[in-house]
Amino acid sequence: MAKGYWVSVYPTITDPEGFDVYNELAGAAVKAASGRLLAGIGSRVVAHEAGIAERVVLIEFDSFEQAVATYESESYQEALAELPHGFERDFRIIEGLD
């Protein structure tokens, strides 16, 4: 079964402290679903071509279905409700190749 991944890119974070509640709740939801943080806050980024060196978060799940179910879960939806007003994020759930 192919793994699933959450990929989040944050082009602009004007209030990093405003993410504290979201990060706590989202972290608990991901952990409860056996998700693993592979890259995130403090990870170095080198951007090429049209890329922009911005914050990227990469989370791995045992399956694509598990990644989707976690996003749709009540606990993660509660976390989303705590994102600061006016935040900007590019979020995707992708299926691994094997």
The boundaries of the domain holding residue 60 are 4-95
E strand or H helix at 25: helix 20-32
Chain mean position to CA 92:
8
What DSSP letter does each residue of 31-85 carry, written as one string?
HHTT-EEEE-TT------TT----EEEEEEESSHHHHHHHHHSHHHHHHHTTSPT
CATH number, domain with residue 28: 3.30.70.100
pTM: 0.89
- pLDDT mean values, one per 10 residues, the chain (98 residues): 93 78 94 95 85 88 98 96 84 94
Q: Which of 40, 95, 28 is nearest to 68 (CA)?
A: 95
Structural domains counted in the chain: 1
